[in-house]
């Protein structure tokens, strides 16, 4: 798979250590990984796309074959535009499966040239999600273990001041 470009899409609102683990492992498997901050129409993000890109760039600065971008349309179209052969997603518990399976099948229908590859999350990240991090951080819990150190202060500042 050392010739293949992969896209790693998500809301990343904000990027967590769970996301970062998946991005790192994808970067070990593929020639180039493009992390795509994409639009999930069922979510209302706390950070702008530009802020999320900046945080992911900071967190992945040491991984040479990773780049970060934003795309507002269909992921399948973006994958086609950049000639990506794979979409990499992290899978946590069974609860992720149905939704992820549906997206994988839809993306395959829209772009038959792209394969969705699921990487199983590390056990310690099974329960981790951006919304959980924001909720517990807002209520005063220490979120240091859940987000990359380099973005910790930025995340804390935003979630403490935002109205939800």
In this structure, the chain runs to a length of 164
Query: Which CB, 65 or 116, lies closer to ligand PNS?
Result: 116
- C-alpha triplet 83, 97, 66: angle, nearest 5°: 35
Question: Does 49 contact ligand PNS by CB under 6 A?
Answer: no
User: Catalytic annotation on 43?
Assistant: yes
Question: Does 120 contact ligand PNS by CB under 6 A?
Answer: no
Question: Does 129 contact ligand PNS by CB under 6 A?
Answer: no
Which position among 74, 132, 136, 156 is part of the footprint of ligand PNS (CB under 6 A)?
74
Question: Does 18 contact ligand PNS by CB under 6 A?
Answer: no
Which residues have CB under 8 Å from 82's CB, separation 6+?
5, 7, 34
Least Å distance between CB 105 and ligand PNS?
8
Q: How far, in Å, are 1, 35, 100, 117, 131 from residue 78 at the CA level? A: 20, 12, 18, 17, 26
Least Å distance between CB 140 and ligand PNS?
25
Q: In a 10 Å sphere around its CB, with 0-12 CB exposed, 13-18 middle and 19+ buried, how is residue 133 labelled?
A: buried
Catalytic residue among 25, 57, 70, 92: 92
Question: Does 82 contact ligand PNS by CB under 6 A?
Answer: no
Residue 79 and residue 89: Cα distance in Å, rounded? 14
Q: Which residues are catalytic?
A: 19, 43, 92, 130
Catalog residues that contact ligand PNS under the rule CB under 6 A: 9-11, 38-40, 43, 74-75, 103, 106-107
């Amino acid at each position: 798979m050392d010739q293949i470009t992969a896209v790693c899409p998500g809301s990343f609102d904000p990027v967590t250590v769970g996301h970062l683990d998946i991005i790192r492992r994808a970067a070990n498997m593929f020639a180039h990984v493009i992390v795509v901050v994409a639009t999930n129409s069922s979510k209302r993000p706390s950070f702008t796309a530009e802020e999320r890109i900046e945080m992911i760039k900071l967190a992945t600065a040491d991984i040479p074959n990773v780049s970060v971008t934003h795309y507002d349309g269909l992921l399948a179209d973006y994958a086609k535009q950049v000639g990506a052969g794979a979409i990499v997603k992290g899978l946590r518990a069974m609860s992720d499966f149905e939704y992820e399976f549906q997206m994988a099948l839809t993306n395959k229908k829209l772009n038959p040239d792209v394969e969705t590859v699921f990487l199983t999350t590390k056990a310690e990240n099974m329960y981790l999600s951006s919304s959980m991090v924001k909720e517990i951080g807002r209520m005063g819990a220490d979120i240091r273990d859940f987000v990359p150190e380099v973005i910790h202060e930025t995340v804390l500042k935003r979630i403490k001041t935002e109205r939800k």
